[in-house]
Amino acid sequence: MLHKLTNKIAIHSKWKLAFKTLPFVVAIVLLKYVVHYYGYEFLTLNALFTAIISANIFLIGFLISGTLVDYKESEKLPGDLSACIETMADEGLIIYKNKKSPEAKAYLKKLLQFNEMLIGWFHKKERTGNLMAKLLSFNDDFLAFESQTQANFISRLKQEQNTIRKIINRIHTIRETSFLGTGYAIAEIITSILVFGLVFIKMNPFYESVFFVAFISFILIYMIYFIKDLDNPFGYSEKDNLVEEVSLKPVLDSRDRLEKYYNELI
């Protein structure tokens, strides 16, 4: 119940993950109290247990470093897509202003539709295959431009088309591929065992043991959640995503500019 309630509360994004973790910590602390009350604490704290905690933290750090590489790369991709789309629009505007070409006007409208489709694709409202087919259809426009502009103009358009295709493939790979799924599994298993052990370890005084159980459990569970959400920086369609996704503002801004360009031609 408490877990569901935290989803409904409007919380600043940087605290969402902490509030998501708290119900688990509260449950663990309550279980610790019950175990202590009935005298079921049969484990003793030793150096081996602390070494396992250190090993788990090292593993979690390794997983975070791997996912951060993809996340940092992903931050650049919407901006690169926006730049390519607007460069293609520039070429179409040049042809239209020079030749008053109806083909160039239709091309700009198609480019605007592609940008809209791209935004829908980020939110998983469009399939990757359909987006690629739309991108491929620009070849017909390039053929229509051959008699209206120089060959190097067409070459630049093809280069931008190719760059967009590469970026879409890269985003699709990042979005659909989980980094070291077996690594996640072992981190979750070790974390579960450690939390179980903390509940049944006897430490005196009791209030100190509650503090350490709550603190260590919070850190480990928080980091597991953090890694899972960080692994998909394009999770716009995921309602329960707790980590900030990569900003789509460059793509949204390019759509607005393309719409403005096209409306000026009407």
Give me the percent of the chain exceeding a pLDDT of 70: 91
* Single-letter code of the amino acid located at 209: S
Note the pLDDT of residue 1: 42
Residue 240 has pLDDT above 80, yes or no: no
- Report how far residue 135's alpha carbon sits from residue 161's, in angstroms, rounded to the nearest whole number: 7
Whether residue 68 has pLDDT greater than 90:
no
What is the per-residue pLDDT for 34?
A: 94
Mean pLDDT, all residues of the chain = 88
Q: Nearest to residue 242, comparing CAs of 19, 63, 78?
A: 19
If phi > 0 it is left, if psi is from -120 to 50 it is alpha, else beta; for residue 93 that is: alpha
Q: 128-136 and 138-145 are packed helices; what angle lies between their axes, rounded to 10 degrees?
A: 10
pLDDT for 88-147, tens place per residue?
Answer: 999 999 999 998 899 999 999 999 999 999 999 999 999 999 999 999 999 999 999 998
pLDDT above 90 for 179: no
Name, of 32-46, 83-97, 215-229, the range with top average pLDDT: 83-97
pTM for the model stands at: 0.79
Nearest-angstrom CA–CA distance, 210 and 155? 67
pLDDT top residue among 9 and 260? 260
